[in-house]
Structure 1
């Protein structure tokens, strides 16, 4: 049982005991000061006797004392409950033997009761006796005793429930047996008090059934009150018709039965419709979830087949490795799990290298780069490594996922080069397929979120709606990333070599960007640019990305100034796109072309961090190189080369 449920139960018992204690003190005071208002608490109902109020007082003090664990409170608990049992037993004895021992009137002089002055009823005494016995066993460590005490509490609840029903339905005393002498206020307090004690002592299963958040628990909480109210209302109507001679007993019973069947059928139909809707939504979500899980499984299988994958905890201890990792390192899985990557450390990299790596991933950022490792046999191998931190709901890193691509080839340089080209082709193909196929499950997730927001917005609390908004933003960001990845994989797939006038290309791009150029007051100047033999669509995308970035990454309030120039060399044309923007820190200038690399916070500048990766791929497609000369807050110059005789 959770700590929260235990605390809630203890708090409920405390408030109920304090309420009963306050009520008993008031009644005792009324008796002691002979205030006749006690007769008129509920007109026409027998007043609560002094001895009954005293029993409630003692029972409440005993239950409150049981909440504390010290010896003094244990003594108080035992003493008060013993007094309750003595009072109850004396009253029962007086009733059974027909004697009046004067026990009840020794406290106050009851001049109001016509029969047995000062004495509580036999049924009331039995209830207090059972409640006292149960309270003794309430905090027992024995589960059997706890279950037994709960049965006793249940008996008290049922006894007083019947008394309340008798009062509500106004059943004559001759038909109600020995229960009629229990005043309605006494029955209500005993009913509620025993109910709270029963709840505190109830098993985990019963609490989950009544208080749980599942459909069955909600049905219990709605159907039981509905049935009770329906039966009570129909019973009152039935008695009203009979007592006022509106109809005879047989006709009344027929009417009662008709309405009873109607009431019994209507609400189950309502519940059934609601459950059907819930089940339909559940089946829809489960189907989408299974489809997503199947696709995720396929991606994992593809990753396991092509990459070395391991998972470590926040301290770098390996908790999982795939078969490819074991195959490459020559270590068995049980040799690796529970250890760190020191097992495969080749000693090639400095302490500063690993310190920078840990600083990056501990900050929640992805680290990527080349690492030289060593197999169990002492053979060195290179891997291109990406380390991804996993962050929990509290913003804490709890594990790292490491994906490695083995880039080592123990063959001639030409073979290594060809193998590397094939590997890159495979990765591009995998990237294209993965990014394309990822769109569908992402659309499914987004559709499910939209359904939840449209159909259940009134039933969800503020935290749930906020969570859905976060999920929407996350799926939108992921959709942008996947689109960027798909665009990246498509570069060069359907290339067409044409003659390009670079001047005309730049003019077309500035025309397309006229709106943002005007809004930002951008000034763009160009030297005379050469005519190229190149891939038209890709070259246009290259210039467009560089110009767009130069406009976007500007200091607040500054006027963007962009100059495009070109120089001819023996084998290539060198282009430069210079701006006066925010610049790039020197330490980031080499990583700026990495895919999804962002040097600024997401809320500062929009984008996915893939534009410069596109530029690098396009330049490499034309046999050239791209680099940046930049100083932070002083602007950047992006330089790239295109082969003159590119075929």
Structure 2
């Protein structure tokens, strides 16, 4: 035994009374990983006498699956001469392996070869928790993959429906509309009032059906768009208001538009979004009230938050989610026209652009639709 080793061994022996009561394993190791001394906790964990450790290389106690990597790490880390950590499975009592985390400290010696003091804490519970977390993550990833596959199948089904709606449904509807239109042109005024009314109702129903097909196709195509590009919403909203100028003039509406930003998205879909919200604001008004609509945006935590507010009839809290369903109407067609799909399209557009849509409202006092879009 060299003088350096003997000196360190004497120091370890002198401190054994303290080291033996520690809850951690404590080893004194040579530069090549040979065990020079151990504390009492090591003996209790291993079930071996102290003599069985002396001169043994600690790598012999490591699980075979961990040994190669741990030895490679050991030789790399001791070259730095600084404290480091190692985690591995160690053979304990009755040949069972448990996970330990070792804190390794260099011991001062007169020569350039360090001795090392290693203290090991059992981390079996943490490792089991990590393994369980990895298992759960793997299970979650599998569920996500399965759900993604289901969504892809649903999207394909929706695309197939869009094809059917645009071809197979339109053709008989076109035929019905043509024949009813022919009846209307040829016989209107020649039959009794009830016949004229029935023909008018059939024409109106065919027109509504055609509009419903258009709306369903719009919903199905929201996920099908060219790559997003910068969209100047100030210009888009101005164009929407120009398209709605007849409705605005007829209702006498006052529309106030604040400063709106440039976002990244699909021009057509974002235009449709604002048109649907503005049309709703103008349409759902109590008799005799002049519509007032306010549109503005603020920047919050990397998102633009928009607010489209009106002074209309308002919405009851119980209906806040219902109104976003496809073909969901709160009022009959005689009172307020429409197919009940505009807000479903609006929410789908917002979600496709990475935002959220919600509302604030009180019956009789108006409604504010709020939505977010990411800042570029």
- TM-score when normalising by structure 2: 0.57
Mapped to 1, the partners of 2:201 and 2:342 lie a distance apart of: 25
Match of 2:362 in 1: 631
Match of 1:565 in 2: 296
Mapped to 2, the partners of 1:450 and 1:542 lie a distance apart of: 33
Match of 1:499 in 2: 230
Match of 1:436 in 2: 166
Match of 1:487 in 2: 218
Is the Cα contact below 8 Å between 2:277 and 2:308 reproduced in 1?
yes
**Which among 571, 581, 590 is matched to residue 321 of structure 2?**
590
**Which among 337, 351, 355 is matched to residue 620 of structure 1?**
351
In the TM superposition, residue 493 of structure 1 has moved relative to its aligned partner by 2.1
Match of 1:420 in 2: 150
Q: Does 1:477 find its partner at 2:208?
A: yes
Pairs within 5 Å for 1:331-410: none
In the TM superposition, residue 620 of structure 1 has moved relative to its aligned partner by 1.1
In the TM superposition, residue 490 of structure 1 has moved relative to its aligned partner by 2.8
**Which among 511, 531, 534 is matched to residue 262 of structure 2?**
531
* Structure number with larger C-alpha Rg: 1
Q: Does 1:513 find its partner at 2:244?
A: yes
Mapped to 1, the partners of 2:232 and 2:141 lie a distance apart of: 43
Is the Cα contact below 8 Å between 1:623 and 1:642 reproduced in 2?
yes
Computed over aligned residues only, the root mean square deviation of the Cα atoms, in angstroms, reads 2.6
Task: Specify whether residues 472 and 521 from structure 1 end up closer, same or farther in structure 2 by C-alpha distance, changes over 3 A only.
Answer: closer
User: C-alpha offsets along residues 77-118 of structure 1, whole Å, 9 cap, x if unaligned?
Assistant: xxxxxxxxxxxxxxxxxxxxxxxxxxxxxxxxxxxxxxxxxx
In the TM superposition, residue 489 of structure 1 has moved relative to its aligned partner by 2.3
Match of 2:331 in 1: 600
Mapped to 2, the partners of 1:600 and 1:547 lie a distance apart of: 18
Is the Cα contact below 8 Å between 1:492 and 1:538 reproduced in 2?
no
Task: Specify whether residues 447 and 505 from structure 1 end up closer, same or farther in structure 2 by C-alpha distance, changes over 3 A only.
Answer: closer
SS in structure 2 at match of 1:412: helix
Pairs within 5 Å for 1:208-219: none
Mapped to 2, the partners of 1:507 and 1:458 lie a distance apart of: 44
Equivalent pairs, count? 237
Pairs within 5 Å for 1:144-543: 412-437=142-167, 438-453=169-184, 463-543=194-274
In the TM superposition, residue 481 of structure 1 has moved relative to its aligned partner by 1.1
SS in structure 1 at match of 2:348: helix
Is the Cα contact below 8 Å between 1:573 and 1:642 reproduced in 2?
yes
In the TM superposition, residue 417 of structure 1 has moved relative to its aligned partner by 2.7
Mapped to 2, the partners of 1:456 and 1:519 lie a distance apart of: 33
Is the Cα contact below 8 Å between 1:503 and 1:528 reproduced in 2?
yes
Task: Specify whether residues 593 and 467 from structure 1 end up closer, same or farther in structure 2 by C-alpha distance, changes over 3 A only.
Answer: same
Match of 1:554 in 2: 285
Question: Please, which runs of 5 or more residues in structure 2 have no aligned partner?
Answer: 1-139
Question: Please, which runs of 5 or more residues in structure 1 have no aligned partner?
Answer: 1-409
Is the Cα contact below 8 Å between 2:313 and 2:363 reproduced in 1?
yes
Is the Cα contact below 8 Å between 1:496 and 1:536 reproduced in 2?
no
- TM-score when normalising by structure 1: 0.34
Higher relative contact order (CA 8 A, sep 6+): 2
Is the Cα contact below 8 Å between 2:225 and 2:266 reproduced in 1?
no
Mapped to 2, the partners of 1:431 and 1:522 lie a distance apart of: 39
Structure with greater proportional strand content: 2
Is the Cα contact below 8 Å between 1:431 and 1:485 reproduced in 2?
no
